[in-house]
Amino acid sequence: MKRLAGFLAVILLLTGSARAGELEMESEPEEEVGEEVFDESSIPTSAEGLDIPAPSAILIEKETGQVIYEKNADERLRPASVTKVMTILLIVEAVDSGALSLDDTITCSAYAAGMGGSQVFLEEGEQMPLREMLKCIVVSSANDAACAVAEHIAGSESAFTAMMNSRAADLGMANTHFTNCTGLMDDPEHLTTARDIAIMSRELIKHEWIKEYTTIWMDTIRDGQFGLSNTNKLIRFYNGATGLKTGYTSSAGHCLAATAERDGVEYIAVVLHCASSADRFESAKTLLSYAFGAYTLASPLPGEALPPIPVELGRAKVVQPELYEEPKLLVKKSDAGSLEVAVELEKSLTAPVEPGSVVGVMTVSLGGNTLREVPIITKTGVERLGFWDVMADMLSLLFYGER
């Protein structure tokens, strides 16, 4: 009876409440999407050939953040439940910081239980461990679970929303403003862009363990009594899919932040305001498959090991240089074999030499155009010889011909 009452309450919220009369509530419609939508047999090989139905979209690579394709990527639109990418990010960051544990018990408030749209019909006072609540949010886009966790973290949904906006600002999401943690309502002030969604999606998938949730196709909660099915059909039908989040309202249209990884390279495709669920999956699939087919992530290195650099007046005769970081460059597969690497190093150094001192540069170029310059630094430091050390060296050189 409680489940039935909860269901009836949802219907009332959707059809009769004053709030719902002003703002449309989010609920993913049951829409058939055929497997042919995910077929990769006719993917364009050039960006000019990309013709996707999504009105707003962007495609980026995870490691570098490089934009491969964009279409009206800075148009401010309603994101529907793709909003939850930020909600999930804050939860994941709280877990990784130690502020939360996946074993923490989350208690559902009356307010959270009253959420409409996509939900798992939590009852007031019902408790679940965070790991189960997180699964409900990620897999089934559960608004009630999202609100319950938001209240647990911040005390109220409004306080949590303030945290969302603060984190968005930290990430440089300049065109985003959240007014809730779910995307449940089509609030005209709740806006973001494809580019900003790609930014927060990239930040989220840096936490690899969230993919244990985002790759779930079907699961259960309440000891197997309640089934969950992922609204992201890429998880079932697209090779390498790793997530991430769907969304829908009649005003926002069909939205999707999609991620996929093959051969160690991961791409993020965001599509907004699509006319149908098939259009959003077709658009995301086309973008992701184009990236996998046309691009690769290269890590160019010097052809030979970097030689030690002599050090004058130092307690050590040489110091070993190393790359500040291993460069990762997104390049077209057709260009990967044409990358050129040049190394410039100091011929000698004079002590003292601090650890991490810049002593050279590695330049990666293609067709005469510089793609990346990577500093070369000293692996360790070298102290300068003292006066008596210099005298001892001179005597050694005088009598033995060496230091």
- CA dist 367 and 269 (Å) reads 29
Are the CB atoms for 134 and 88 separated by under 8 Å? yes
**Which among 27, 81, 118, 140 is annotated as catalytic?**
81
56 is catalytic: no
Alpha-carbon distance of 189 to 177, in angstroms, equals 7
The closest alpha carbon to 187, from 228, 216, 211, 158, belongs to 158
Residue pointed to by tokens 């058939």 = 32
Task: Judge whether 289 counts as a catalytic residue.
Answer: no
106, 195 in Cβ contact below 8 A? no
Q: In Å, how far are 234, 310, 321, 323, 376 from 346, measured between CA atoms?
A: 51, 9, 10, 14, 10
CA gap 346, 149 in Å, rounded:
55
How far apart are the C-alpha atoms of 107 and 128, rounded to whole Å?
A: 7
Question: Active-site residue among 84, 211, 233, 245?
Answer: 84
Q: How far apart are CA 183 and CA 78, in angstroms?
A: 8
The answer to whether residues 379 and 322 touch, using CB atoms and an 8 Å cutoff, is yes
Residue 173 tokens read as 């999401």
Catalytic annotation present for 141: yes
Catalytic residue among 27, 56, 118, 141: 141
Helix (H) or strand (E) holding 18: helix 18-22
Would you state the structure tokens that stand for residue 278, as one six-digit string? 């098939």
Assign 395 to helix, strand or coil. Answer: helix
Q: DSSP string covering 215-277, please?
A: T--EEEETTTTEEEE-S-THHHHSTTEEEEEEEEETTTEEEEEEEEEETTEEEEEEEEEESSH
Q: Which positions are catalytic?
A: 81, 84, 141
